[in-house]
């Protein structure tokens, strides 16, 4: 029996059919201008009739150490997918932090649910005196001198949201002057 079909290997699909999965792994990501830190990775389980199903929640902070910082949360059944989703969400939520000589311009309290984080400017050479989550966010934002205190709930996700609330509401003298001029 003569066949004019090509042998399986030469049809371009390799072994086992199409190779779409391999192409996904070969994609090269563009070099990022942001550094990334994982703040938290937690596993939770939900019980179904057939047993437990586990999911992972990742909280990732990205920043360029020059005043831009973002935070994202990703959830998935696999760790890598959860981290990738969190990274994508963080890139969508980037904020600009006003810096004044390596610190923030004024005192502020960030609030998220039961968590409150007090952020205070510090003199040059003090360093970042803060807990794990505020320290990671401050360093990626480019803040070199800062004092902070976590008040209330210390849940990592809520503390991160509180820090972002505080950083987002920082104002400089110029921005306050513009607000006053536009109100008159």
* 70-92 mean pLDDT: 96
Q: How many structural domains is the chain composed of?
A: 1
What mean pLDDT value characterizes the chain? 87
* 137-155 mean pLDDT: 96
Which of 36 and 184 is assigned the larger pLDDT?
Answer: 36
List beta partners, residue 111: 116
119: in domain: yes
Residue 33 has pLDDT above 90, yes or no: no
41: in domain: yes
Looking at residue 7, its pLDDT comes to 54
- Decide the pairing of beta strands 128-129 and 146-152: parallel
Q: Which domain holds residue 142?
A: 35-171
Looking at residue 32, its pLDDT comes to 75
pLDDT tier for residue 2 given thresholds of 50, 70 and 90: low
- Give the CATH number for residue 50: 3.30.230.10
Least confident of 17-21, 54-58, 76-80: 17-21
166: in domain: yes
* 9-21 mean pLDDT: 52
62: in domain: yes
pLDDT tens per residue, range 83-136: 999 999 999 999 999 999 999 999 999 999 999 999 999 999 999 999 999 999
pLDDT tier for residue 49 given thresholds of 50, 70 and 90: very high
């Amino acid at each position: 029996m003569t066949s004019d079909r090509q042998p399986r290997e030469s049809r371009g699909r390799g072994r086992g059919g199409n190779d779409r999965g391999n192409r996904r792994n070969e994609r090269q990501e563009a070099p990022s201008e942001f550094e990334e830190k994982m703040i938290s990775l937690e596993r939770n389980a939900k019980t179904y009739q057939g047993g437990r199903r586990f999911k992972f929640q990742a909280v990732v902070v990205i920043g360029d150490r020059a005043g831009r910082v973002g935070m994202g949360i990703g959830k998935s059944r696999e760790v890598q997918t959860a981290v990738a989703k969190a990274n994508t969400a963080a890139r969508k939520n980037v904020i600009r932090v006003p810096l004044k000589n390596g610190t923030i311009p004024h005192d502020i309290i960030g609030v998220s649910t039961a968590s409150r984080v007090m952020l205070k400017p510090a003199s040059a050479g003090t360093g970042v005196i803060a807990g794990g989550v505020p320290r990671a966010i401050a360093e990626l934002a480019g803040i070199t001198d800062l004092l902070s205190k976590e008040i209330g709930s210390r849940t990592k996700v809520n503390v991160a949201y509180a820090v972002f609330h505080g950083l987002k509401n920082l104002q400089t003298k110029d921005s306050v002057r513009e607000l006053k001029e536009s109100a008159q």
